[in-house]
Amino acid sequence: MMKLAIIGTGYVGLTTGTCFAEVGHRVICVDNNAQKVVALQQGEIPIFEPELEQLIVSNVAAGRLSFTMDIAEAVRLSDVIFIAVPTPPLEDGSVDLSYIESVSCTVAELITPEMGYRVIVDKSTVPVSTGSKVLQVLQRYSSSGVDVDVVSNPEFLREGCAVDDLLNPDRIVVGSDSARALDVMRRIYQPFSAPMVETDLASAELIKHAANSFLAMKISYINSVAAVCEAAGADVEQVALGIGMDKRIQRHFLNAGLGYGGSCFPKDVKGFIHVAEQLGSPMTILHEVENVNERQLARFLNRIREKMWILGHKRIAVWGLAFKQNTDDVRESVSIKLIKQLCDEGAIVSAYDPAARITGAAALEGYDVNITEDMYSCLKGAELLIIGTEWKEFAQANFSRVSELLHLPLVYDGRNILHGENVTAAGLEYHSIGRKTMMPKS
């Protein structure tokens, strides 16, 4: 059992801290948002993430997990301090490291030589060389004689399946220039069966940016192929299957759609572009990854305009607000962008999401969108239906009912999640990404 503190109890900090408690460590989660901490102390979970709530409840009950605003106590009581505060993008694409810097300063002022050895671990996604800056801050602002090392331990959790990704990761990456700190990290991850990749500090930081950018590149690659498929009358799903069976390529993250969103890929691609440029080794390939991602929504809307002509005053139903399935997170959600564009063109939009109705409404503040409590009332009066998020339950909808409620027999699936046969059997036209349009059966 190790004594751990996690500073920043957001998506990453909360799920990571809970999973560390689940494998037996004692974890104190710290946050400077009083409302969030009080809610967590009362057993209210601020995010929708499958399996998380029951793990929090059981680990709090077992005395292994607690929540506080008291960073000083958490630092005093913990051997290892993880930093999981936000690293949002700035206007110029660089990463805002001010939260990391201010937490590092606070920790530096709190640790004393009497506390003994402390390891500070960066969990947040940061540009390469941030860890060495954190170490400088610790050396600069701590009292003399403190014994401290810095580690980079990037997370690879996907929202919506974060608990499983954390408890059963493909690999664990830890980077440090201190052998002693790496030994501490081995002890923390000893209960996990995944292989551990041990690197120097800078390489671990780079692994995170390079991994997320590579995955974003896979998505943009298949979306480019999807555009060619549309032009050639081919089927991108068959192409993805055919290329994905090559073990060197793999089928994962080759799902064509409206493009990637979320709090990570857009920010991390930008962050990697920026840091590479600063280092004089531009990752020019990533500019095109971004371009393709932007074009994807524009291409989709053009196809709808081709059919509907003018979108102003058209009643349009959108299923999906979250940036992906199984989450209530709408940060950088392509579906939210789509809805905003439809509204800007004067369309009358109603929307439904299984989990992101409240977060979606907040993201759409100022836009007149009717967010409904169920998927069918969203369709009342609508001329067409657009799927913006890949929720599996959309595929299980009753399309006969959909067909009765829609004014025109038009379904545009921006995530290739529906079964075309079910849609067309209900008398609806089925438009998707990178595939031929399927016409109604009756």
Our CA angle for 434, 435, 438, nearest 5°, is 150
Q: Is residue 262 close enough to count as binding ligand UDX by CB under 6 A?
A: yes
Annotated catalytic residue, options 19, 29, 264, 378: 264
CA-wise closest residue to 182 among 199, 207, 206: 199
Q: In whole angstroms, how close is the CB of 259 to ligand UDX at the nearest point? A: 6
Q: Is residue 32 close enough to count as binding ligand UDX by CB under 6 A?
A: yes
DSSP label of 437: P
| 3-state class (DSSP) for residue 196 | strand
Q: Is residue 338 close enough to count as binding ligand UDX by CB under 6 A?
A: no
311-330 positions binding ligand UDX, by CB under 6 A:
323-324
The residue with its CB nearest to ligand UDX is 10
Q: Is 264 a catalytic residue?
A: yes
User: Binders of ligand UDX: how many residues, by CB under 6 A?
Assistant: 41
Alpha-carbon distance of 411 to 300, in angstroms, equals: 12
Alpha-carbon distance of 75 to 117, in angstroms, equals: 12
Q: Is residue 261 close enough to count as binding ligand UDX by CB under 6 A?
A: yes
13 phi/psi in degrees, rounded to 5: -60, -45
Q: In whole angstroms, how close is the CB of 30 to ligand UDX at the nearest point? A: 6
Q: Is residue 87 close enough to count as binding ligand UDX by CB under 6 A?
A: yes
Q: Is residue 12 close enough to count as binding ligand UDX by CB under 6 A?
A: yes
Q: How much of the chain is helix, strand and coil, in % rounded to 5?
A: 45, 15, 40
CA-wise closest residue to 412 among 435, 385, 393: 385
Alpha-carbon distance values, 58 to 23, 54, 245, 352, 433 (Å): 12, 6, 41, 32, 43
Binding segment for ligand UDX (CB under 6 A), chosen from 84-92, 132-140, 144-152, 243-251, is: 84-92
Binding segment for ligand UDX (CB under 6 A), chosen from 2-10, 302-310, 340-348, 351-359, is: 2-10
- Closest CB to ligand UDX among 102 and 398? 102
Binding segment for ligand UDX (CB under 6 A), chosen from 97-105, 174-182, 343-351, 363-371, is: 97-105
Which residues does 357 contact at the CB level (< 8 Å), separation at least 6?
Answer: 321, 371, 373
Q: Is residue 28 close enough to count as binding ligand UDX by CB under 6 A?
A: no
Query: According to CB under 6 A, which one of 22, 79, 122, 155 is a site residue for ligand UDX?
Result: 155
Q: Is residue 130 close enough to count as binding ligand UDX by CB under 6 A?
A: no
Residues 427, 405 contacting (CB under 8 angstroms):
no
Q: Is residue 166 close enough to count as binding ligand UDX by CB under 6 A?
A: no
Pair type for strands 315-319 and 3-7: unpaired
> Cα 88 to chain center, whole Å?
13
Binding segment for ligand UDX (CB under 6 A), chosen from 113-121, 249-257, 277-285, 426-434, is: 249-257
Query: According to CB under 6 A, which one of 104, 124, 213, 403 is a site residue for ligand UDX?
Result: 124
> For residue 431, which amino acid is it?
H
Query: According to CB under 6 A, which one of 2, 4, 6, 8 is a site residue for ligand UDX?
Result: 8
Radius of gyration over every alpha carbon of the chain, rounded to an integer in angstroms: 24
Alpha-carbon distance of 227 to 434, in angstroms, equals: 6
| 3-state class (DSSP) for residue 121 | strand
- Closest CB to ligand UDX among 270 and 315? 270
Query: According to CB under 6 A, which one of 192, 253, 367, 376 is a site residue for ligand UDX?
Result: 253
Binding residues for ligand UDX, per CB under 6 A?
A: 7-13, 31-33, 36, 84-87, 99, 102-103, 124-125, 155-159, 212, 215, 219, 253-255, 257, 260-265, 323-324, 390
Which residues are tagged catalytic? 264
